Amino acid sequence: MARPPRPPAPRRRPAPPLRDGGGAFTSRRAPGSRRLAGALQVSRRRYSIGFVLVVVPLLVITGKLWLLQGVDSGQYALAATQDRIRVQDIAPLRGAVVDRDGDPLAYTVAASRITADPTLVDDPARTALALTTLLDVPSSELTDRLSRDGRYVVLASQVSPETVDEIEELGLPGVFSEDDPVRLYPAGSVAGQVVGFTGREGHGLAGIEQSLDEQLAGTPGERRVEVGSGGHPIPSGIDDSTPAVDGSTVELTLDSDLQFVTEQRLQEACQDGATTRASAVVLDVHTGQVAAMGSCPGYDPGNYSRTDPELLGNPIVSSVFEPGSVLKAVTLAAAIEEGKATPETVLSVNGRIDAGDRIVRDAHDHPPIDWTVTGILAKSSNVGTIMLAREVGDAKLEEYLRAFGLGRTTGIELPGESAGILQDSAEWTESRAANVPIGQGVSVTTLQMASVYQAIANDGVRIEPRIVSSVGGESAPVPESTRVLSESTADDVAYMLEAVVGPGGTAPLAQVDGFRVAGKTGTAQRANPECGCYDGGGYVTTFVGFAPADDPQYVVAVDLERPTSNEEGGQVAAPVFADILRQALTADGIVPSGTPRPDFVLTGPE
């Protein structure tokens, strides 16, 4: 029996082809391959992201290192070096002040200030113990300073160079030194008011130290030094310096020996129980230069902080007073120059004269006396002087007073100079017009009065007084000179001033053995500061003159403030004048006068 035929097999749908990563057809996927492919794709993305997160920072770091080590390495090295650079000022040595012979009155020596940075000090107590003997500062005090907050403390000032060297050899971390020069005044109080002093910062605060501070100070320098962790210089590191320029030496016209004698004599005057202030100035007749200038009480510039601040000035240029009769020389000079009188002119002089709402009297009441103009000056007659002043006229007299330098500063190279007080003549009342010719109602400085007499002694030519001879080796400018009197008038006034010191004059105590002396006394009422009036103010006594009268070389002006005394200038100021003048003449080798004193005619024919 035959078998029946097999039924045909069912047709299968062919599976879609698979692509590999390169796009070629492969064998068909196994069951679940889609899920596997998705997982692989996620893993690949995660790997890519992780790769980026790792590689990019590495690239950034690598680039930064390349910049730091390559392109910017020099800049960062420079910045690191700059952090180690310490900049120190180099202080210049302040210029010296010397007298006309080169003897020092002020000079500077090198010294240092010892400082510390507490943040660099490891052991304050141990460091203090190492420094206490060298600095002469208690160890406990140094420990306290070294333990403070902050980065700068001062341990000691004005330390000598030798001690600084010893400290540097110790190599103490955080301890440093900086310039701190010391100003010395070897003459002490001699010329102290002229020289002045400097403050803590080294700048002048008085006298020449102040007025010529810029020239004396110099120019600071600078040192740039590389330091290590302890703050000390690295031996092989940077060390660049710009040197300081020291200050200029100032040479004064003063003679230290004469200055000393002048101040000693003024000290004696201040010890008489009545004199509260005494001043004197010595001028060279032919140059106007100050040979000596002093006042009592004075001060030592090296210890100025212990002195009453009111005494730290220079009264000779800053304090004013009413000069009294020493000003009569100007009034009589104006009368002679204007042709109103001669030394031999005779006036009948009463003991009093009306002056507006008051009466002016001579020092001693007397009936009418026939005095020559020479006698009026020799006897210091107020009335006779006022009579001559009225002949001259107020406006013309004011012209002469101003020509002699009153009412304005002399221009001397010292701070704080006063111009004095001279009111315009158009504003004078009748009483003031009578007071000014005799030295009341007008105020002057001691230097101004000396300058007046310098002009008379110098044949009528006034030279502005100066006290600086040179700065930095260069001579000071020549001061201005002005003719205020003719030579003949100056000779006439000198003749009359010599009569003041001669027989019958008011100042025989002003004489100096061997020399002919000319000058004038003054006894002016002193204003009482308590009431603003003259009552109870006492007197200012003065004497101004020159010698030799026949060949003048020096002018000396002296004034004494005496609030409780009524003694006259010829009694108390003239002896001081004579002692100072004697020293000036003999020390300079001036030859005694070779001609006799004239016979002075003080009164008219009987």
pLDDT at 220 over 80: yes
Q: 21: exposed, middle or buried (C-beta count within 10 Å: 0-12, 13-18, 19+)?
A: exposed
Hey, what are 595's tokens? 């001609």
Q: Kindly calculate the radius of gyration of the chain based on its CA atoms and give it in whole angstroms.
A: 46
Q: Which range (74-88, 156-170, 492-506) has the least confidence?
A: 74-88
Exposure string of 463-474, with b = 16+ CB inside 10 Å and e = fewer, is: bbbbbbbbbeee
Q: What's 436's DSSP letter? A: G
Percent of the chain with pLDDT over 70: 83
Q: Looking at residue 45, what is its pLDDT?
A: 67
DSSP letters for 39-91: HHHHHHHHHHHHHHHHHHHHHHHHHHHHIIIIISHHHHHHHHHHHTEEEEEEP
451-465 pLDDT per residue, tens = 999 999 999 999 999
Highest mean pLDDT among 40-49, 86-95, 426-435: 426-435
From the candidates 319, 325, 380, 381, give the one annotated as an active-site residue: 325
Q: Looking at residue 78, what is its pLDDT?
A: 47
Amino acid at 109: V
Domains of the chain by range and CATH?
Answer: 111-178 (3.90.1310.10), 256-588 (3.40.710.10)
Q: Of 312, 272, 290, which is closest to residue 541 (Cα–Cα)?
A: 272
Active site residue 381: no
pLDDT at 31 over 90: no
- 453 contacts 553 by C-beta, under 8 angstroms: no
- 371 contacts 604 by C-beta, under 8 angstroms: yes
Q: Of 496, 518, 494, 509, which is closest to residue 567 (Cα–Cα)?
A: 509
Q: What's the rounded Cα separation, in Å, for the pair 232 and 286?
A: 60
Q: How confident is the model at residue 156 (pLDDT cuts 50, 70, 90)?
A: very high
pLDDT at 257 over 60: yes
Q: Looking at residue 21, what is its pLDDT?
A: 44
Percent of the chain with pLDDT over 90: 70
- 142 contacts 128 by C-beta, under 8 angstroms: yes
Q: How confident is the model at residue 25 (pLDDT cuts 50, 70, 90)?
A: very low
Hey, what are 393's tokens? 């006229």
Q: Which residue has the higher pLDDT, 157 or 10?
A: 157
pTM equals 0.82
50-73 pLDDT per residue, tens = 666 766 667 767 666 665 565 555
